[in-house]
Amino acid sequence: MTTAVAALIVAAGRGLRAGADAPKQYRRLGGTPVLCRTLAPFLADNRIGTVLVVIGAGDAPRYDEAIGHLPKSARARLASPVAGGETRQDSVRAGLEALAAIGFTGNVLVHDAARPFVSIALIERALAASAQHVAAIPALPVTDTVKRIDAAGLIEETLPREQLVSVQTPQAFAFQPLLVAHRAAHAAESIGFTDDSAIMEWAGHRVATFAGDPMNLKLTHSDDFALAEQRFARSLVTRTGTGYDVHAFADGDHVWLGGIRIPHSRGVTAHSDGDVALHALTDAVLGALADGDIGSHFPPRDPQWRGASSDRFLAFAAERVRQRGGRIDHLDLTIVCEGPKVGPHRDAIRARIAEIAGLRLDAVGVKATTSERLGFTGRGEGLAALATATIRLPEPE
């Protein structure tokens, strides 16, 4: 029988050093919460039967929002989150106790949520090490010369670099000995351990090492985020989508264009509110995602979209981009009609589209033209819109 494996992801830190209002594990990296990036490779490994996140007190709404970015199938594999404690040590113990409460036995990988670049290969090495050792941790040789300093910052000694390693997570342990060590440290009021292997050392276990990954960066300071964003940006590819929509005029006294209600001598025939601008933009974004079209996500036969306000269609498409870890760089729109006059409403339309798609105003272009009285728009039989969306998406693995 293969040994059961659980992954315990420690996400209870307040992340104050990273210099933002939200804890760092909930900040976005390339559009996706750090926590989701961290979880994804663990959730993708079927040998890991249980994935449990320890979260900070009061962070449940942030957690729920964050995991909403994961595909449904991945989300379904997550155990209910557990509330952590004051320190990292308290939080890990809370997670271990939760696993103990469900009768877990086997091996556990403990990983910091603030390391979102954990690779499948590193998890692989951790799993292999956990099959052989009671405790094993990823380690890297120290390449800088390391010195010990006094309180005044003066060098006291130069340490022998060849005997030093820097260590990371995921750290792999046999569950029961780790639980016992944590309980013992708690009972002895031994605190201040910065990783779990230190607790195992304290409890008298030998801790093995395996090869760490220099790319497995820990997000600690604001600069780390800037670096991580840069690294992430390099793996995004630009994609472009186009959209086109038409609605026929009918009796009425207004039309909707770009989420703005514009008084007019006619209305439009439509199942929804008939906003050609938002429909064309939605299709442009879905086109860039290669993710169907507005009709496939919101079937016109479905009565729930009758008279629907079209802002939800564009907001949905924009959210699909974010869920894929991408971002919308630019939306461009051309409205074609003899009337109503778009000019007086252009600024309001731009602002509304930016708001719906979650973009800055300068990322939205709105233009209008007549068709010189030619064709159906020229004869005033209806109005049309063309749109282009430029987005960036993570390169497929």
Contacts to Mg ion by CB under 5 A: 245, 279
Cis amide linkage into residue 170, ω under 30° from 0: yes
Q: Which is nearer to Mg ion, 279 or 350 (CB)?
A: 279
Q: How far is CA 339 from the centre of its chain?
A: 42
Q: Give me the half-sphere count of Cα atoms (radius 13 Å) on the Cβ side of residue 198.
A: 13
Q: Which is nearer to Mg ion, 205 or 279 (CB)?
A: 279
Q: Which is nearer to Mg ion, 62 or 279 (CB)?
A: 279
Nearest-approach distance from CB 72 to Mg ion, in angstroms = 28
In this structure, the number of other CB atoms found within 10 A of the CB of residue 204 comes to 9
Name the strand (E) or helix (H) holding 247. Answer: strand 236-250
Rounded to whole angstroms, how far apart are CA atoms 208 and 372? 78
Q: Which is nearer to Mg ion, 201 or 293 (CB)?
A: 293
Three-class SS of residue 384? strand
Q: Which is nearer to Mg ion, 93 or 279 (CB)?
A: 279
Q: Which is nearer to Mg ion, 28 or 264 (CB)?
A: 264
Distances (CA, A) of 126 to 8, 11, 176, 222, 250: 13, 20, 17, 28, 66
Q: Which is nearer to Mg ion, 173 or 313 (CB)?
A: 313
Nearest-approach distance from CB 264 to Mg ion, in angstroms = 17
Q: Which is nearer to Mg ion, 88 or 279 (CB)?
A: 279
Q: Which of 349, 293, 355, 360 is nearest to 320 (CA)?
A: 293
Q: Which is nearer to Mg ion, 37 or 279 (CB)?
A: 279
Q: Which of 91, 123, 129 is nearest to 14 (CA)?
A: 91
Nearest-approach distance from CB 350 to Mg ion, in angstroms = 20
Which token pair is 26? 């909930």
Q: Which is nearer to Mg ion, 183 or 271 (CB)?
A: 271
Q: Which of 131, 80, 82, 85 is nearest to 109 (CA)?
A: 131
Query: Which stretches of the chain are DSSP H helices?
Result: 34-43, 60-67, 72-75, 88-101, 120-130, 175-187, 196-202, 222-233, 276-289, 294-297, 311-323, 346-357, 375-378
Q: Which of 166, 162, 174, 183 is nearest to 205 (CA)?
A: 174
Residues 183, 188, 190, CA angle at the centre, nearest 5°?
90
Which token pair is 84? 């952590």
Residue type, 221: H
Residues 91, 93, 98, CA angle at the centre, nearest 5°?
100
Nearest-approach distance from CB 386 to Mg ion, in angstroms = 13
